[in-house]
Amino acid sequence: MNQKSQARQQFDAIVVGAGPAGSSAALALARSGQRVALIERGEYAGAKNVSGAALYAPGLLAPLLPNYWEEAPVERYLTRRVLTFLSRDSAVSIDFRSNHFNQPSYNGFTILRPKFDRWLAGKAQEAGALLITSTVVDDLLYEGERVIGVRCRREQGDLYAPIVIAADGANSFLAKKAGLQRELRADEMTLGVKEVLRLDARTIEERFNLNGDEGMTNEYLGYSSGEVKGGGFLYTNRDTLSIGVVVQIASLAEKKVRAYDLLDQFKQHPAVAPLLRDSVTLEYSAHMIPESGWAMLPKLSRAGLLVTGDAAGFVFATGLFLEGINFAIASGLAAAETAKEAHTDGDFSARSLDRYRRRLESSFVLQDLKRFRHAPSFVTSERMQNVYPEIICEAAERIFRSDGTPRYKLGRTILNVMRGKVSLLSLLRDGWRASRALFF
């Protein structure tokens, strides 16, 4: 049977990719009575997604799914957030915990992506979306300049809708096909490699100073990624740990090292290894992250098409933060709102869909990315990656060391450590860059 003789499969909206961006968009659209197709190349939603992550801003989904954390597969509520600077053999941490965080909707929780993504896509299905799995979208279909559907790698043919939402993740094939995103450079993308390690719940609570459902995230800067630009992380789940390194692809190639060797090295660090003792590796995975934020932002829409989540480069990575799931959900919901308005007006033109960008400009999605736009290049600078973590650790060691010799005051100790590692001019320059990137 040729394409023309088949009944045309028409929807109100097509969403490509059942990650957090796509499933949120499909859920919101289905709830408003739209006929939605949610297409996922994986065997099930989440099958292709790297597991073990922190979901921040959990309230975003609450208007559609009130108190969803009582039912959703969430692991632990984040009550402790730690930032650790590593040198080869020492560590300095800023360790924050608050009782204010001790409620589900306040700060976030850890999740395992295959379980959570599957659950969220299930909610979209319950609301009436048609989830089509094991199906790759290969191309967009056009009428003149307007996108009117997608070409799928499947027998039943192509799907049509006046609006397509691209939620196909990092390095989006669809955004590039539509001419909205350029080819991305290797210094704009990072590779995240991660392991999930089994460790019983009681041991996790004792070892990480947690009670009951409490959980923590620890972001690492410095030696966690060796000499390669990047960082490490360690998150607590109910009875597993998620540990990984996130490294710049250009820097990996330049230093000629393998990402999983860096993860092994990180796991063996004296400040990390005791936290992992007796754990068993359950799973290993790798995935790309578009980490350059504002600098790699594509055009977000054209007639008949909106781009969301990682496909649009909505990842907020500043060393202090690694957030993408909440940006994906917020942009998926904004895309759904825009699609609903376009249906009401019967107008799917580029001009009408430009409302999507304005909606994101008034939310944290584009505001955070713009405000912290200098952070990605600052955090990946050579001195921030290798020199300052080393200085912080060495200064702490000299301050705390008690060996019977007279001590210098703190300022002199720090200046002594810095000597030969960083000049005063570089320090002033970095101070200015830090202030521009993170402070003011």
Ligand X SMILES: Cc1cc2nc3c(=O)[nH]c(=O)nc-3n(C[C@H](O)[C@H](O)[C@H](O)COP(=O)(O)OP(=O)(O)OC[C@H]3O[C@@H](n4cnc5c(N)ncnc54)[C@H](O)[C@@H]3O)c2cc1C
Residues that bind ligand X (CB under 6 A): 16-22, 39-42, 48-50, 53-54, 56, 136-137, 167-169, 173, 192, 194, 244, 246, 287, 289, 309-311, 315, 322-326, 328
Q: In the bound complex, what is the minimum distance in angstroms from residue 412's beta carbon to ligand X?
A: 40
In order of 43, 121, 196, 411, the CA distances from 114 in angstroms are 11, 11, 12, 49
Alpha helix locations (H) across 346-423? 350-353, 355-361, 364-371, 375-379, 382, 388-400, 410-418
Residue 254: other Cβ atoms inside 10 A = 14
Using DSSP bridges, classify how beta strands 164-166 and 13-16 pair: parallel, antiparallel or unpaired: parallel
Q: In the bound complex, what is the minimum distance in angstroms from residue 246's beta carbon to ligand X?
A: 6
Q: In the bound complex, what is the minimum distance in angstroms from residue 273's beta carbon to ligand X?
A: 20
What SS3 state is found at 298? Answer: coil
Q: In the bound complex, what is the minimum distance in angstroms from residue 132's beta carbon to ligand X?
A: 9
Q: In the bound complex, what is the minimum distance in angstroms from residue 440's beta carbon to ligand X?
A: 25
Task: Identify which of 178, 183, 184 has the alpha carbon closest to the alpha carbon of residue 163.
Answer: 178
Which residue lies nearer to ligand X by CB, 293 or 309? Answer: 309
Helix or strand holding residue 433 (H, E): helix 424-434
Q: In the bound complex, what is the minimum distance in angstroms from residue 426's beta carbon to ligand X?
A: 31
Which residue lies nearer to ligand X by CB, 124 or 395? Answer: 124
Task: Identify which of 313, 314, 299 has the alpha carbon closest to the alpha carbon of residue 353.
Answer: 299
Q: In the bound complex, what is the minimum distance in angstroms from residue 138's beta carbon to ligand X?
A: 7
Which residue lies nearer to ligand X by CB, 53 or 392? Answer: 53
What span, in angstroms and rounded, lies between the C-alpha atoms of 14 and 157? 14
What span, in angstroms and rounded, lies between the C-alpha atoms of 60 and 56? 9
What span, in angstroms and rounded, lies between the C-alpha atoms of 234 and 276? 10
Which residue lies nearer to ligand X by CB, 194 or 374? Answer: 194
Which residue lies nearer to ligand X by CB, 235 or 348? Answer: 235
Tokens encoding 425: 């001019």
Which residue lies nearer to ligand X by CB, 41 or 359? Answer: 41
Which residue lies nearer to ligand X by CB, 250 or 422? Answer: 250
Which residue lies nearer to ligand X by CB, 90 or 251? Answer: 251
Q: In the bound complex, what is the minimum distance in angstroms from residue 326's beta carbon to ligand X?
A: 6
Amino acid at residue number 360: L
Q: Is 169 left (phi over 0), alpha (psi -120 to 50) or beta?
A: left
Q: In the bound complex, what is the minimum distance in angstroms from residue 137's beta carbon to ligand X?
A: 4
What SS3 state is found at 184? Answer: coil
Positions of E strands within 74-145: 74-86, 91-97, 108-111, 130-132, 137-143
Contact yes or no for 193/288 (Cβ under 8 A):
no
Q: Is 256 left (phi over 0), alpha (psi -120 to 50) or beta?
A: left
Which residue lies nearer to ligand X by CB, 27 or 50? Answer: 50
Which residue lies nearer to ligand X by CB, 333 or 395? Answer: 333
Q: Closest residue to ligand X, Cβ-based?
A: 324
Q: In the bound complex, what is the minimum distance in angstroms from residue 60's beta carbon to ligand X?
A: 11
Per the listing, tokens 């921040």 go with: 56
